[in-house]
Amino acid sequence: MSRIPLPYSPKVLELFRNPKNAGAMEDATVSATAGSPICGDVIAIYLKIGEGDIIKRATFESYGCAANIATASILTEMVKGKTLREAWNITWREIAEELGGLPSIKFHCGALAVGALRRAIRAYYEKRGRPPWMPEEATLEERQALEAEKLKEILSRKLGGGEGDRPNR
């Protein structure tokens, strides 16, 4: 079986080859991890938040395909200097547009990046009280982007490698 390469934009390919803001942030104010049960991709987002709830820095770690790395990378660029409320309102479609488009089979990568960002913002406000603009319930993107532990559990069950399935040693 031959594999046909996906039609990635030049910007997606550039950010895949040379991602911006890649790596953990030791002094992050907050971080969140999210994974996709569709393909097994995982993104960790780290935010350094300053006075007035302004995002001073953003970095990411990624385990996944070119689109996953590119969407996380561009998202970290898009949120810098924004308030948490402004960052919350970024959509996966805006990420895709900023990248010059994504193949439709990779739209979930944008949703995963948004889900990880929103999880981080929600975690930040858990300690400070939820602002009135933030929905009480998790958004679609947050629900679609499973926590890494939940993803591991689902993938393990699908692959038949759950803890109870291992032989005793």
Has residue 84 been placed in a domain? yes
Residue 131 pLDDT level (bands cut at 50, 70, 90):
very high
Contact 31, 48 (CB under 8 A): no
**Residue 118, domain extent:** 10-165
The answer to whether residue 164 scores a pLDDT higher than 60 is: no
User: Nearest 5 degrees, angle CA 85-CA 42-CA 106?
Assistant: 85
Has residue 31 been placed in a domain? yes
Has residue 1 been placed in a domain? no
DSSP β-bridge partners for residue 35: 42, 146
Dump pLDDT digits (tens) for 37-56. 667 788 999 999 999 999 99
Q: H/E element holding 160?
A: none
Dump pLDDT digits (tens) for 71-119. 999 999 999 999 999 999 999 999 999 999 999 888 888 989 999 999 9
Has residue 99 been placed in a domain? yes
Give the CATH number for residue 16. Answer: 3.90.1010.10
Contact 62, 71 (CB under 8 A): no
Has residue 2 been placed in a domain? no
Residue 151 pLDDT: 65
Please identify every residue annotated as catalytic: 39, 109
Has residue 4 been placed in a domain? no
Tokens of 145: 């982007």
Has residue 40 been placed in a domain? yes
Residue 1 pLDDT: 47
Contact 66, 16 (CB under 8 A): yes
Helix, strand, coil percentages (3-state) for the chain, rounded to 5, are: 45, 15, 35
Distance between CA atoms of 122 and 125, rounded to whole angstroms? 5
Residue 165 pLDDT level (bands cut at 50, 70, 90):
very low
Total domains in the fold of the chain: 1
* Angle formed by the axes of helices 107-126 and 66-79, nearest 10°: 40
Has residue 3 been placed in a domain? no
Tokens of 164: 């109870």
User: What is the average pLDDT value for the chain, to the nearest integer?
Assistant: 87
Report CA-CA distances (Å) from 96 to 10, 30, 70, 117.
Answer: 13, 25, 10, 15
